[in-house]
A and B are shown apart, each in its own frame.
Chain A
Amino acid sequence: MARALLNVPKRIRRGDVFEVKVLISHPMESGQRRDDRGAVIPRDIIHQFSCTYGDELVLRCELFPAISANPFLSFHVRARDSGTLVFAWKDDQGASHSETLAITVE
């Protein structure tokens, strides 16, 4: 399936505070569950997420267990110039991912 759904409003004006919505495909295995044979299923969650806008870090967060699979994050950013949002995240398997989204500021 798709790795992430990234959404910003269709029209963004300079100075506007706009909402960024990110839905990431991930099992977010909590580490609390056991499989059919009773063995603990190892924790595998996204534990770090960040978003940069141009060269500015606009959000960085740590995530913990008890977040559902395919987590949804939303936050607000003030529009400066047209540019690129870069989203990056890391999970317990050591995988790092990043996705980009170009935005046009009117």
Chain B
Amino acid sequence: MNRALALAALALTVVAGVGAVAEKRSGYLDAGPQTRAMQDDDTANPAFLWVQRGETMWGERPAGADGRSCQDCHGDAAQAMRGVAARQPAWDAATARLMNLEQRIDRCREERQGQPRLPPESEGRLALAAFVGLQSRGLPMSVAVDGPAAAGHAWGKALFETRFGQLDLSCADCHDRQAGQRLAGNVIPQGHPNGYPIYRLEWQGMGSLSRRLRNCMTGIRAEPFAPGSPDALALELYLAGRARGLAVETPAVRP
């Protein structure tokens, strides 16, 4: 689809329709009825294969005498992790930077369990993020964009509105101004991050928000931000702030 996206994006700059500022609308509503049906039924949503793996990992003790599982420290995930994903990314005082959910899980694994870091987009990292994210399903996105997060948020907004790449398009060109229009047969959603990690039909698998953003950036032939970099985190924070009030759908299904 990337090639199609890039070509169609060219056409889009010519069309240049002026979209009115719309109400917040989850990408769920722009997906087809079959895709929505998969998301609506946990027994038909393939993301639950990962969720189940994440649930097992939550209770697994790392080898070693004092190895503690996530469960040993945090207790029941339904209580301990409720609302956590709805607040990410958030400012981390200890390291004085923004951190997203996956990075918080990485930190617990590395520093508190003495385990190797799970590679980005690996089954285990997606499984834990999906399982932790699920505990916030239905809660409103409620990230903090003020206080120490304000500077990152402002930077994320600037990035969202900056034109990048050979096609010279910004995120806002598509997701603010052309949302609801079509691009190569796909409806352009408003671009909300409320369902991640997602099961994406095009990927035939699960992927993180970073992977989704990499797709949008390579689609406009821009160099994607390195996952976990300050630019990527600022953009993720701006997206989360822009989606405030939408219900968390993790793990969502998208076309």
Question: Residue B49 contacts which of A2, A7, A21, A68 (CB distance < 8 angstroms)?
Answer: A2
A70 touching B52, Cβ below 8 Å? no
A23 touching B52, Cβ below 8 Å? no
What are the residues of chain A within 8 A of B127 when measuring CB–CB? 1
A5 touching B49, Cβ below 8 Å? yes
Given contacts A1-B123, A68-B201, A69-B205, contact A7 B43 (CB under 8 A): yes
CA distance A37 to B52 in the complex (A): 35
> Whose C-beta in chain A lies nearest to the C-beta of B45?
A23
A72 touching B44, Cβ below 8 Å? yes
CA distance A37 to B53 in the complex (A): 33
CA distance A51 to B152 in the complex (A): 54
B43 touching A69, Cβ below 8 Å? no
Q: Is A98's CB within 8 Å of the partner chain B?
A: no
**Total residues of chain B contacting the partner, CB 8 A:** 14
B201 touching A5, Cβ below 8 Å? no
What are the residues of chain B within 8 A of A72 when measuring CB–CB? 44, 46
Give the residues from 1 to 44 in chain A that come closer than 8 angstroms, CB to CB, to chain B: 1-2, 4-5, 7, 21, 23, 25, 27-28
Minimum distance in angstroms from A50 CB to a CB of chain B: 20
Given contacts A21-B43, A23-B43, contact A1 B49 (CB under 8 A): yes
Given contacts A21-B44, A23-B43, A23-B46, contact A5 B52 (CB under 8 A): yes
Q: Is B95's CB within 8 Å of the partner chain A?
A: no
0 or 1 for each of B25-46: is its CB under 8 Å from A? (1 = yes): 0000000000000000001101
What are the residues of chain B within 8 A of A27 when measuring CB–CB? 204
Minimum distance in angstroms from A21 CB to a CB of chain B: 5
CA distance A25 to B48 in the complex (A): 10
CA distance A25 to B44 in the complex (A): 12
CA distance A103 to B56 in the complex (A): 23
Q: Which of A2, A7, A21, A68 has the most CB of B within 10 A?
A: A2
A-side interface size class: 10 to 19
What are the residues of chain B within 8 A of A70 when measuring CB–CB? 46, 49, 204-205
> Whose C-beta in chain B lies nearest to the C-beta of A70?
B46
0 or 1 for each of B54-69: is its CB under 8 Å from A? (1 = yes): 0010000000000000
Give the residues from 185 to 229 in chain B that come closer than 8 angstroms, CB to CB, to chain A: 201, 204-205
What are the residues of chain B within 8 A of A23 when measuring CB–CB? 43-44, 46, 48-49
> Whose C-beta in chain B lies nearest to the C-beta of A24?
B49
Question: Residue B53 contacts which of A2, A28, A69 (CB distance < 8 angstroms)?
Answer: A2
Given contacts A68-B201, A68-B204, A69-B205, contact A1 B50 (CB under 8 A): yes
Chosen A-B contacts, 13 in total, with CB atoms closer than 8 Å, are A1-B52, A1-B127, A2-B50, A21-B43, A21-B44, A23-B43, A23-B46, A25-B49, A68-B201, A69-B204, A69-B205, A72-B44, A72-B46
Q: B residues near A, CB below 8 A?
A: 43-44, 46, 48-50, 52-53, 56, 123, 127, 201, 204-205
Given A1-B49, A1-B50, A5-B48, 13 further pairs, Cβ under 8 A: A1-B52, A1-B123, A2-B48, A2-B49, A2-B50, A21-B43, A23-B48, A23-B49, A25-B46, A25-B49, A27-B204, A69-B205, A70-B46
Q: Which 10 A-B pairs give the minimum distances between C-beta atoms? A: A2-B52, A69-B204, A70-B46, A7-B43, A1-B53, A1-B49, A2-B49, A21-B43, A25-B49, A1-B50
